[in-house]
Structure 1
Amino acid sequence: MVAITNTTSLTFLKESIDATLSEAEASLEAFAEERDEGTSLDRCGEAFHQLRGISQMLELSAATLMSEEMELAVEGLKRHGGWALVQALGNAIVLLGRYFEYVQLKDRTLPEMLIGGINELRRAGGKPLIQESHFFSVDLSRARSPEPEEGDPAALLAQGRRLRHMYQVGLLGLLRGDNRDAHLRLMARALARVDNLCGRCANSRFWWVARAATESLAEDRMVITPARKALLAQYDRQLKKLVYDGERALAQEAPLLLIKESLYLASLGSGTGTAAAEVRGVFGLERGVSDTVLQSELALMAGARGSVIRSVAGALKDEINQVKETLDLASQGVADTDYAGVAGGLRRIASTLEMVSKEHEANLLRERADKVADWPSDVDADSPDFHALVDDLLAAENTVASLERSLAPSDDVRRDATNTRISLYQLDDARMTVVGECRAGLALAKRSLASYMENNWDPMHLTNLPGTFASVSGGLMFLELERACAVIRACRTHIETRLIGGDEPPGQPAMETLADALTGVDYYLESMEEQKPIGEGVLDVSEQAMAELGYPLAERGTHG
């Protein structure tokens, strides 16, 4: 990337650039209105050719490539037509104009910011997408350091299908748009296991950098672009080769393009993961531009959007809470109550509910407001009329809660209540408390298992686990999470019979498999806390891990 230290040239040419972009936009609009107007496309192509020359002179590599793609898209329109290309060109004109403004104002090029626009043009033209690392330079000849420990190819071949399935569960959830963080961590865990089992082989460097890239995506909460999804899918193809080709796959190096793309993602991360930190150090990836910065600059250049419905729901909650506070004080007899004000609040809530097409609920509140408006300040809080008011307000609150739920995927915690007099918000809070307690129990179990391994397999560190797992199982039963509960019961049985009561230590592979089972349940619960359901595929991984340990659970028929 060529850094611009003096924007004088760009500033001098900016007026010409803006005029050329405006001319291109007008010509494209003329073509869109009169499809047979070939001269409009000619003028448009000439404008893009001019922009390409200016970009080359300014040494703006991304703008040069985008101008070239725009020129080629015009040629494609002449030959084949297509509304998708017209739309993509219109978006590209706007984006390129903003990019020139960005470079001028920020004195910074960041060519990565035009990758999305370039690929939109290529996609509309039926061309393959360019890699996200297109403008990224790195020395691909560097070897892995430190060298990995001796691997266990036999164990890898034995566990390959399950580890690939673990990865696929995460990848499928990610592609569906479910809980990205938990799914990415699941994928990173699978790649870490593969990397450790590969050991010293020709394919080792690839799994190391792939693991680093996935760690960075997960730990730095990077945006999942179509290009990044495609890269993660490529990892699955490499896992497939391991499963079906075995030692022959271990002896082959992966394509350098995959390694370069993986290194680019690692360069955007903070390097906090084990593999990510190693990779950044070996390849000198201290670029100073994180994905957070990149996305922030993209938002600055392209703008952002918000959710009107969420804003409405938030306003409704605030209004309902104000009325609830007034009624709470009234029920305690703390002060005289202004029921005319309460009625006004009910009418405002009703008006807002109408905005989101909740006419029935709005009418009920208006009827209640008409009755409440003339109440004296000392109405008996135990009277049927007061209770009816509280019930109507609770119904309105649950309507808002249902509205908020409609904006997010459903999950196993936020299910509807059979008792309409229970606040959905309070019920969710109670269930979420149980989820938190279950996760705390799993965290305690993981620490105990780690201490057990670190202290020469001393079973004393496991004495508290049966009780801990009993508590977790009880919480999962309350939440009606039967599959997760069955996994935890199997874990408890395994620990009691083979770790505490066994004659010999289980060994590292068995402990890793047990950790896979616990991790799957923990990810499942974490997704509920974050209101980003991960799906039950992660429980398939837990069940497969327990089956590998000798505790087969119900067959689910989920295979990769």
Structure 2
Amino acid sequence: MTNANAPDLGPLTWVKGEIDAALARADEGLQDAGSGTSALQFAQTHLHQVRGALSIVGLDGLTQFADTLEQLLGDMIRGEQPADPAHRALARRALAVIGNYLEEIAHGAPDQALRLAPHYLALGAARGLSDAGPVDLFHPDLSRRPSLRTPARTPTEDLATSLRAARSRFERGLLEWLRKGPASDGARAMREAMAEVEALQRATPTHTLWWVSLGFFDTLIHDDSTPDPALKRLCAQVDAQFRRLLAGTPSAPDRLVRELLYRIATSPTHTPQQAEVKACWQLDGLIPEPGAAVSETPIAPLLERLNRQLAQAREHWDAFCSGTAVALAQFDDALEALSLAARPLERPVALRLLDAMLGFARWLRRDPLQFTDAGALELATDLLMLETAFERRPPDADLARRVNIALARLASLQRGETLPEDGGALDLGSAAQSQEKAALAQVAKEMLASLALVEQALDDFFRNQAKREPLQHLHKPLQQIIGALSMLGETDALRLVRDASTRIAGLAHAESSDSPGEFEALAHTLSALGFYIEALPRGNVRLDDLLNPHATQEQPASVQAAGYAAAELAPAGV
């Protein structure tokens, strides 16, 4: 299931390369417009593999997105939708969105599939679906259960009689709400009836539905807007479950619970019940910043271009702060170009910061004498924050909060006000964290380069055991890896490398007689080490999970799923 706060990167780390390759092959099929349906079928086959792997890994919202795209390709193959350039272009953009979302997740982003909503709605519209909505992408962990503070209440009369009386009150409230809307007491009457049912059903398997419904009706009580058809249908579905309860066939459909939770998650919190529901299912972590989406432009080259432009803008600002007056206009132009180039990234927090910095630069251009040391430091800090916004991992809530502080400080400077001395300390501290992360990424890159030398020499030896001599020169790259892991305090990985170094030293002697099975074990160990080092800058991966992906005990189910996902991506005959 989806966990917004800490996605399990272990299974994804194992299969992401294969998923990326399958996405690339699907894109090739969509580009081949001259081959008719055969190219579309080729694309659909590889997309189906991606969809299966995503389902096993546990990215439920992204799986739904991929499934809808696969169905669109099926419609095009059957002639139910035109396989014209517009539909092919839409499908290709959706493939890029899947790849970009996975890239962000792999770099530590929370699983907030609602960021896919604009593209998902476009796919639904292309298929002619009228009921596709963001809630389709909303998948909180329904295995969670609320904690019961008090036991189920014993009815003062027969249970069935109590439930029938509660449903009668509920239906009267529903009818009043449908007729008069939020101006009536209908929502409150439904909530009171639901509280009666929840108290009587605390010891039953369907209790979660009634407990969540309390929070849902709290949102209705405080919602002044006119009820929309989807909201009316949702209330009718709750009433239908009420009817099933009275008939002795109670149920709590996952889809209904998800829709109720979605309404609660996307509404302001007014009551303790709403707050408890949000806390139980970590709903706040599933809701992205307003306007946040996933770029349909390949994200790696886009971020590379943006960071190059950002470096140029920083050079112009540093030059202006050093006394080169003409550099201010160059800084203004560089920020404007950067703002335009950043729009496809779909990160509102970065655009807000860029717009504020651009406004500050133009304010300075009108009167350069307003320049102060405080302004120079503030812009330098904002440039560092912008660098954080252009990382592979999309901005988190903390960066959004710090950007809001930065916008207020820039506005204060333009009003001629003195900034508080400690107001920007958090920004600088976070910038230092960003620099530390960048340094860790560089160390990991160097370790991977050394590890590649080791793996290449071993691969040559495994193919031809006469090539022992190169093994004698692997001491240096192995020592470089050991030194870096020692500096980072990675004791488990350090122990693994030292053990591998000892085994490689044994292989370097002509009298060694290792079996192919031992060769394979050493290769597996170094491969897992490579995945672990690659994941170090973003965290959330355990070395044991990579060394034992198929363990059936003491391992999360999602780690065991990695092997199944890999098999899904490599079916026979493909």
Computing the radius of gyration over CA atoms, which structure comes out larger, 1 or 2?
1
TM-score of the superposition, structure 2-length normalised?
0.36
Q: TM-score, normalised by structure 1?
A: 0.37
**Could you say which structure has the greater relative contact order, defined with CA pairs below 8 angstroms and 6 or more residues apart?**
2
